[in-house]
């Protein structure tokens, strides 16, 4: 029983110990924060310290506690003050129980209202008493007062408005007084500006008295002061405002604002004051803008003293021998002492017209061969003493003529002569073909950069002819010198060709027949070939052959000749200028005929003797009549021969020779055949057949 009591007591103690340990593990650490409310001035080096203290740091389970610092309010961390964003505490050292946080104040030297902020702390398992700290930064910067209008220029009768302002909000009352130095020109002579707390700007106004008296320039000074002097309020420099009242004396320029003169002229510029005679000490400043070489007689800047109502200055314009663009100088009047410069025509623009003239000459005609590389063209001036200001004129070319760009010639640039006087070149091209002589005309135009104004540069030669002589040759002719074809072929084609060289321009040729066999009805050759373009020469020349079906006509020929009708001075030669066309006979007698050739046609004599398509009716009748007459004559001749033979036989009664004896039977047979001639048709044969004069 007693043993059980000790056991239970041990268990109870263990439970109590575990419970106490749990309290330690989960226990909160508490910090006391002081002070809780702080007020500090915004001055250099100002700061305050927050103290965080705790007696139960050993209760924390963490060796390191991080406390986050959070700020809020009108005052901004980094702008108005500086405080760290966190604090780290080591809980293992039981001797350290108080921790400092320093807050530094930033002095921005800006006049502003008081500002406040709140500081709060955060960390797990940590409580703070109080939970936040508030502090206020008191603004103690001096109030700066500025005069907004210090210097101005106004005329008599104008209102002067002057203002003073502070550099920021404030909580102080003070006065700013404005006092004029002269009571003859300003009304009123003094005024007070009252600034209440929060006021940032106050203004006052004065009137400039108009006394209707022409007088020189005047000025009035208005001084500023604090009355009475106020602590922490500062009046910043400058503490005066100067009001300038221009003079009522007016100086006017009488010349027009734009003057045009020639080189060598004298320009007079006059100034006049508005009727205030006897005023002395009025000075007008001037400046001349432009090239000093263009004028003389007056410095580029200076003062003109007005001693009378009218004062003039003179400028001599330089006359040089330089061709240049029209130039200009300007005379500008900028300020007047003791008077006012009129705003009208206070700048005079003087246009200087260049009157130097010169003429340009170029070769008017040049001859060059097309196998040359280039031709040089030069431009000269009529006066060698003339010079150009800046870029010299350029001669630009406009090509013309029958020469072709990039075939016969080429320009590196249309501005052939870029600087006058000077030379330029035209490239001459040779493409290796016969083109004939060509003409390149160049129309010249004067260009300048910048463009020279007026007609002071003229061209003596506006046009240059470049005659390009063709050095290429070509040879043409018939492709063949002779052709042989049978009569029945119907037609034959004759070809022309370039034997050597290339021809790139058109020209005309003609082909004529030396023997007009077309009248005989064999060759048909068109008159279209009397004059035709060489460009058509690639097509064959067709000669038609008429097959008349007449036998034993023999071979016939036709000769064609080639001539150049219009060569346009082309270097073209003719080789193989003639071609002979030979037509062979291919009409033959029938195989059944005897040794004497006879027609094989079964037609009547008139029909068989008629040529196909060529002879008309009259021609056919004439042939038939001729054949009949020839037959009768031949018959008469044979009768005579037979009669002679009979007489001879009667006289001798024997044959004269053995040959006669041998020929007698043949003659008898021949005589018998002659007797039948009256019933046969006699046909003519070609006169060129020397063996048989007639054909039966």
What is the CA 566 to chain-centroid distance, rounded? 46
Name residue, tokens 């590196």: 412
* Percentage of the residues of the chain whose pLDDT score is greater than 90: 19
Specify if 543 maps to a domain.
yes
* Percentage of the residues of the chain whose pLDDT score is greater than 70: 78
Specify if 5 maps to a domain.
no
User: Which region among 259-268, 430-439, 612-621 has the lowest average model confidence (pLDDT)?
Assistant: 612-621
pLDDT score of 202: 92
Quick one: 648 and 673 in the same domain? yes
Q: What is the mean pLDDT of residues 592-610?
A: 40
Specify if 271 maps to a domain.
yes
pLDDT at 27 over 80: no
Quick one: 372 and 456 in the same domain? yes
Quick one: 576 and 609 in the same domain? no
User: Which region among 76-80, 194-198, 601-605, 627-631 has the lowest average model confidence (pLDDT)?
Assistant: 601-605
Distance CA 634, CA 628 (A): 10
Q: What is the mean pLDDT of residues 142-155?
A: 86
**Which one has a higher pLDDT value, 280 or 108?**
108
Quick one: 116 and 80 in the same domain? yes
Quick one: 131 and 147 in the same domain? no
| Domain end (from 315, 334, 353) | 353
Q: Which range scores top for mean pLDDT: 52-56, 461-465, 660-664?
A: 461-465
Quick one: 419 and 347 in the same domain? no
pLDDT at 50 over 70: yes
**Which one has a higher pLDDT value, 544 or 522?**
544
Judge whether 217 and 244 are in contact, CB under 8 Å. Answer: yes
Distance CA 409, CA 625 (A): 75
**Which one has a higher pLDDT value, 594 or 694?**
594
**Which one has a higher pLDDT value, 221 or 617?**
221
The band of 605, judged by pLDDT with boundaries at 50, 70 and 90, is very low
User: Which region among 277-291, 398-412, 593-607 has the lowest average model confidence (pLDDT)?
Assistant: 593-607
pLDDT at 329 over 90: yes
Quick one: 74 and 124 in the same domain? yes
pLDDT score of 8: 64
**Which one has a higher pLDDT value, 72 or 620?**
72
Quick one: 290 and 237 in the same domain? no
pLDDT digits (tens, 9 = 90+) for 448-479: 655 566 667 888 888 999 999 999 999 999 99
CB neighbour list of residue 104: distance below 8 Å, 6 or more residues apart: 46, 47, 81, 82, 83
Specify if 15 maps to a domain.
no
Distance CA 61, CA 663 (A): 176
pLDDT score of 311: 83
pLDDT score of 537: 62
Specify if 6 maps to a domain.
no
User: Which region among 190-204, 550-564, 644-658 has the lowest average model confidence (pLDDT)?
Assistant: 644-658
Quick one: 271 and 227 in the same domain? no
Distance CA 120, CA 131 (A): 6
Q: What is the mean pLDDT of residues 598-602?
A: 39
CB neighbour list of residue 646: distance below 8 Å, 6 or more residues apart: none
The band of 246, judged by pLDDT with boundaries at 50, 70 and 90, is confident
pLDDT score of 521: 62
pLDDT at 120 over 90: yes
Q: What is the mean pLDDT of residues 644-650?
A: 63
pLDDT score of 685: 35
358-362 and 457-459 strand pairing: parallel
Judge whether 566 and 525 are in contact, CB under 8 Å. Answer: no
pLDDT at 381 over 70: yes
**C-alpha dihedral sign at 619, 625, 626, 631:** positive
Hey, which bits of 159-217 come out as E strands? 159-166, 174-180, 186-187, 190-195, 201-208
Quick one: 401 and 463 in the same domain? yes
Judge whether 349 and 253 are in contact, CB under 8 Å. Answer: no
pLDDT at 233 over 90: no
**Which one has a higher pLDDT value, 48 or 10?**
48
Quick one: 236 and 265 in the same domain? no
Q: What is the domain range of residue 349? A: 250-353
Give me the chain's average pLDDT, please. Answer: 78
Specify if 221 maps to a domain.
yes
| Domain end (from 245, 266, 281) | 245
pLDDT digits (tens, 9 = 90+) for 563-593: 988 777 889 999 999 999 888 887 766 555 4
pLDDT score of 85: 92
**Which one has a higher pLDDT value, 376 or 326?**
376
What Å distances lie between residue 164 and 59, 236, 432, 492, CA to CA? 65, 10, 96, 122
What Å distances lie between residue 228 and 170, 174, 269, 474, CA to CA? 18, 8, 59, 120
Distance CA 162, CA 148 (A): 7
Q: What is the mean pLDDT of residues 502-513?
A: 86
Encoding tokens for residue 127? 């409580």
The structural domain count of the chain equals 6
Distance CA 532, CA 540 (A): 13
Specify if 16 maps to a domain.
no
pTM for this model (two decimals):
0.40
| Domain end (from 200, 229, 245) | 245
User: Which region among 8-12, 270-274, 678-682 has the lowest average model confidence (pLDDT)?
Assistant: 678-682
User: Which region among 152-156, 499-503, 592-596 has the lowest average model confidence (pLDDT)?
Assistant: 592-596
pLDDT score of 600: 39
CATH number for position 321 = 2.60.40.2030
Specify if 444 maps to a domain.
yes
Edge-to-edge strands of the sheet including 422-428? 409-410, 422-428, 374-381, 358-362, 457-459
Name residue, tokens 């005589």: 671
pLDDT score of 458: 84
The band of 281, judged by pLDDT with boundaries at 50, 70 and 90, is low
Q: What is the mean pLDDT of residues 344-352?
A: 89
**DSSP-based three-state secondary structure for 23:** helix
Encoding tokens for residue 338? 């003791």
pLDDT score of 62: 82
Quick one: 178 and 255 in the same domain? no
């Amino acid at each position: 029983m007693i043993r059980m009591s000790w056991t239970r007591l041990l268990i109870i103690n263990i439970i109590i110990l575990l419970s106490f340990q749990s309290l330690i593990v989960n226990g909160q650490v508490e910090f006391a924060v002081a002070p809780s409310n702080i007020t500090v001035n915004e001055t250099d080096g100002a700061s305050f310290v927050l103290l965080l203290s705790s007696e139960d740091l050993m209760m924390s389970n963490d060796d390191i506690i991080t406390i986050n610092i959070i700020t809020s309010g009108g005052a901004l961390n980094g702008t108005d003050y500086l405080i760290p964003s966190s604090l780290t505490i080591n809980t293992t050292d039981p001797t350290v129980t108080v921790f400092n946080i320093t807050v530094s104040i930033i002095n921005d030297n800006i006049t502003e209202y008081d500002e406040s902020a709140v500081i709060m702390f955060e960390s797990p398992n940590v409580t703070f008493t109080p939970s936040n700290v508030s502090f206020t930064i008191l603004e103690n910067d001096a109030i700066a007062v500025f005069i907004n209008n210090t210097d101005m220029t106004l005329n008599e009768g104008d209102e002067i408005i002057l203002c003073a302002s502070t550099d920021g909000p404030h909580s102080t009352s003070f006065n700013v007084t404005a006092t004029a130095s002269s009571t003859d020109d300003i009304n009123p002579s003094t005024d007070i500006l009252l600034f209440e707390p929060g006021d940032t700007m106050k203004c006052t106004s004065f009137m400039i008295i108009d006394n209707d008296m022409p007088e020189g320039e005047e000025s009035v000074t208005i001084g500023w002061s604090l009355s009475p002097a106020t602590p922490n309020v500062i009046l910043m420099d400058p503490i005066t405002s100067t009001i300038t009242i221009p003079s009522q004396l007016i100086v006017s320029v009488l010349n027009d604002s734009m003057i045009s003169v020639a080189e060598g002229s004298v320009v007079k510029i006059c100034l006049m004051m508005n009727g205030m005679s006897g005023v002395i000490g009025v000075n007008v400043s001037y400046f001349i803008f432009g090239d000093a070489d263009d004028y003389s007689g007056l410095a580029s800047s200076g003062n003109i003293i007005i001693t009378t109502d009218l004062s003039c200055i003179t400028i001599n314009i330089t006359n040089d021998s330089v061709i240049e663009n029209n130039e200009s100088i300007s005379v500008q009047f900028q300020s007047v002492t003791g008077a006012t410069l009129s705003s009208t025509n206070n700048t005079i623009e003087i246009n200087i017209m260049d009157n130097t003239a010169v003429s340009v000459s170029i070769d008017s005609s040049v001859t060059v061969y097309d196998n040359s590389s280039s031709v040089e063209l030069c431009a000269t001036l009529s006066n060698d003493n003339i010079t150009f200001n800046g870029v010299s004129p350029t001669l630009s070319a406009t090509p013309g003529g029958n020469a072709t760009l990039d075939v016969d010639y080429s320009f590196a640039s249309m501005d052939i002569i870029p600087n006058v006087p000077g030379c330029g070149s035209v490239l001459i091209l040779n493409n290796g073909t016969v083109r004939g002589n060509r003409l390149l005309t160049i129309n010249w135009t004067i260009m300048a950069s910048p463009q020279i104004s007026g007609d002071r540069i003229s061209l003596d030669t506006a046009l240059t002819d470049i005659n390009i002589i063709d050095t290429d040759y070509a040879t043409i002719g018939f492709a063949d010198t002779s052709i042989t074809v049978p009569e029945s072929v119907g037609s034959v084609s004759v070809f022309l060709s370039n034997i050597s060289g290339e021809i790139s321009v058109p020209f005309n040729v003609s082909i004529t027949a030396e023997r007009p066999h077309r009248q005989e009805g064999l060759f048909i050759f068109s008159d279209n070939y009397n004059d035709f373009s060489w460009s058509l020469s690639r097509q064959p020349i067709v000669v038609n052959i008429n097959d008349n079906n007449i036998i034993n006509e023999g071979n016939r020929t036709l000769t064609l000749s080639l001539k150049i009708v219009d060569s346009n001075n082309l270097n073209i030669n003719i080789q193989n200028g003639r071609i002979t066309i030979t037509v062979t006979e291919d009409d033959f007698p029938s195989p059944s005929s005897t040794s004497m050739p006879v027609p094989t046609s079964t037609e009547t004599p008139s029909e068989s003797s008629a040529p196909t398509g060529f002879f008309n009716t009259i021609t056919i009748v004439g042939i038939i009549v001729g054949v009949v007459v020839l037959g009768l004559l031949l018959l008469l001749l044979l009768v005579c021969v037979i009669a002679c033979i009979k007489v001879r036989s009667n006289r001798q009664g024997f044959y004269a020779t053995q040959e006669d004896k041998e020929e007698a039977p043949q003659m008898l047979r021949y005589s018998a055949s002659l007797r039948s001639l009256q019933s046969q048709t006699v046909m003519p044969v070609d006169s060129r057949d020397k063996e048989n004069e007639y054909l039966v």
